[in-house]
Amino acid sequence: MTIHHNPVNNNRFLVRRAVLGLQVLEDKTNIQQQWETDIMKRRKVKSICGKISRSSVVVIGDLMLDRYFWGQVDRISPEAPVPVVNVERTNVRPGGAANVAWNLISLGCEPRLIGLLGKDGQARELRGLLSAQNISPEYLVADSKRVTTEKIRIVAHNQQVVRADFESDGEVGGNVLGRLGKVIDRAIEGAGAVVVSDYGKGVVTMPVMDRVRELCDAGNIPLIIDPKEGHFDLYKGAWALTPNLKEAGGFYNMKIRNPEMLDKVGRDLLRDLEAHSVLITRGEEGMTLFEEGKRSRHFPTRASEVFDVTGAGDTVISVLAAGMAAGASIYDSIELANAAAGVVVKELGTATVDAKELAGSFPV
């Protein structure tokens, strides 16, 4: 059988494909240019940061001590097929909800940190770290039956080798719950926003959340939650939730694989949790905001390079809350949070961003 080749039609096909390709490229360029046009200017960022420095945010959640051992590997252990890390330096930082407070104080915002500590050396060390950052220990509650959560990370050649955790994750109750309720009442009064940082270590429970919601509703205070899988029912009525992709899909026992699934999960979370907004953080894909009755809005990542995402979620929720406490719109607050996350992921380990760094990441 002979196949007849028509060079004229083929040329037309090639021309059409080239034109379509240019159109796609042009569309992508227009989208990028529009996004760049929409980015806030540095003067506006400085204005918001100035208001942040006169604001206060309550942070409720699980406190942690993040300890790092940094070193090099040049041999394998004779005892087991594992690397031997020659430790060259160590450092320790506030983690979990304490890292959210640390991010807030770095921006100049007053954090009112609420959480549980044990009565141990790690508690004393964490209190010392917080005091050194001018974070008040006024709202911290000690519980002799708990150990202070500590995460130990061993890092070699800028790669985490292993992590070891010391923790108590039983739900708070009894006398300790009563004391926690009293500090919640004191702390929320007059605050500009409330952050709940749930790491599943026992602080964020139904009695705690019921009281927090009641106070936020009465004071018209934005309640912003960094959620934990498995605690779905605790988060109803929040002003905003900030799950990552895994957490968002995990609420429905599914993995988000495409834009359609992302949109469905975002809309379902809005409905099922009766939330004002849901901001799903997507790593290198940026963030996507869902609001009732509005189209979803995407915020492309501001990170030019990524070394470590540890604590990036804490940075996002702290800057988002600080912006809202300062009276900024949710869209401007997300732009700030997005830019801040782009700064901290360039650092190894938990990190923070200050107002000067944040403003410097925006165009003049």
Q: So which residues are the catalytic ones?
A: 314
Burial class (CB in 10 A: 0-12, 13-18, 19+), 333: buried
Give the pair of three-digit tokens for residue 259.
């834009």
Cα dihedral sign, 343-164-98-325: positive
What single letter denotes the amino acid at residue 337?
Answer: A
Other beta carbons within 10 Å of 346: 13
Is 60:104 a contact under the CB 8 Å cutoff?
no
Is 286:335 a contact under the CB 8 Å cutoff?
no
Q: 353 by DSSP, 3-state: which?
A: coil
Q: Please choose, from the candidates 177, 217, 158, the residue with its C-alpha nearest in 3D space to the C-alpha of residue 60.
A: 177
How far apart CA 13 and CA 11 sit, in angstroms, is 5
Q: Please choose, from the candidates 294, 116, 300, the residue with its C-alpha nearest in 3D space to the C-alpha of residue 199.
A: 116
Q: How far is CA 100 from CA 111, 273, 310, in A?
A: 9, 23, 12
Is 226:195 a contact under the CB 8 Å cutoff?
yes
Give the pair of three-digit tokens for residue 356.
């000067």
